[in-house]
Amino acid sequence: MTAPFGRRLADAVAARGPLCVGIDPHAPLLEKWGLPDGPEGLARFTATVVDALAGTVAVLKPQLAFYERHGSRGLAVLEDAVARARAAGALVLLDAKRGDIGSTMDAYADYLRPDHPLAVDAMTVSPYLGPGSLQPAVDTARMCGGGLFVLARTSNPDAGTFQHASVGERSVAQVVVDTVRGWNTPGWVIGDPLPDVAAVRDQASRFGPTTGSFGVVVGATLRDLDIDLEGLGGPVLAPGLGAQGGSAADLRRLFGSGTAVVPTVSRDVLAAGPDPAGLRAAARRWADELAG
């Protein structure tokens, strides 16, 4: 039985620090590296990033769309990269942002199964078909020791159009957070009253051996934290550092020291390639800044 993702994440952070590096091989970046925008260039780019970073960073986060755009050969590149990254000790978070219902969501969740050709440690999902739509993914994650990060309060400029909408006395974003808090509470199922914050407050207010396997995505570029994360019981994936304007100071301002935060950097590290030493140095600079 695989240890739960939350425990594996806590172990990885303890050993390597919390940095997550996104792998986003979009066409302009491939061109900047002097690579063709095709499966061959994609393979060289991905292998360079994985070989340079998988032995030192806690989490690598490949964006699935940039591999799908190259068809079956692109997915073959990703399949190989995921296996190599995990063998080197990095956790792999698949940035897929999937959201559907029933058997379709169940099929998306297969990425978390250890026998899947593209087996990953965790994946991002979208909750906007309703909390119950993600139950198949929750069930698979629990059975296979996988993790989920649910879009809650994202950093794109017009995110508030939907995420600030009201559901009774709460915003949509807060309902997402509260639902994920429920998933991190033993015995809670969708339809039950939401658990008291105290029920999970001590479970994982920061990284520890009992960190929950279900987290939320909250942008590091927010002006203010307009949701309540207390007692979430799981990690917060915080994209937006570097090129998007977020900083280590923003993480401390938004989340303080009591939240298990996985800060994500993509362009600021990948722009240091194709030299592997440059990639490693850029990741170290961010790791040092986050530790300061």
| Domain regions of the chain by residue span | 5-291
Give pLDDT, residue 166. Answer: 93
Work out the burial of residue 244: count CB atoms within 10 Å of its CB; fewer than 13 is exposed, 13-18 middle, 19 or more buried. middle
Give pLDDT, residue 134. Answer: 96
Confidence at 191, pLDDT banded by 50, 70, 90? low
Query: Does residue 243 carry a pLDDT above 90?
Result: no
Query: Does residue 201 carry a pLDDT above 70?
Result: no
Mean pLDDT of 117-121: 97
Report yes or no on whether pTM surpasses 0.85.
yes
The residues carrying an active-site annotation are: 97
Give pLDDT, residue 186. Answer: 75
**Architecture of the 5-291 domain:** Alpha-Beta Barrel (3.20)
Cβ contact 49:23 at 8 Å: yes
Cα–Cα distance, 5 to 145 (Å, whole number)? 5
Mean pLDDT of 186-212: 64
**How many CB atoms lie under 10 A from the CB of residue 89?**
14
Mean pLDDT of 166-173: 94
Cβ contact 102:136 at 8 Å: yes
Cα–Cα distance, 76 to 288 (Å, whole number)? 34
Cα–Cα distance, 105 to 271 (Å, whole number)? 34
Mean pLDDT of 48-60: 98
Per the DSSP assignment, residues forming a β-bridge with 21 are 60, 265
Confidence at 244, pLDDT banded by 50, 70, 90? confident
Block residue for tokens 């909750």: 127
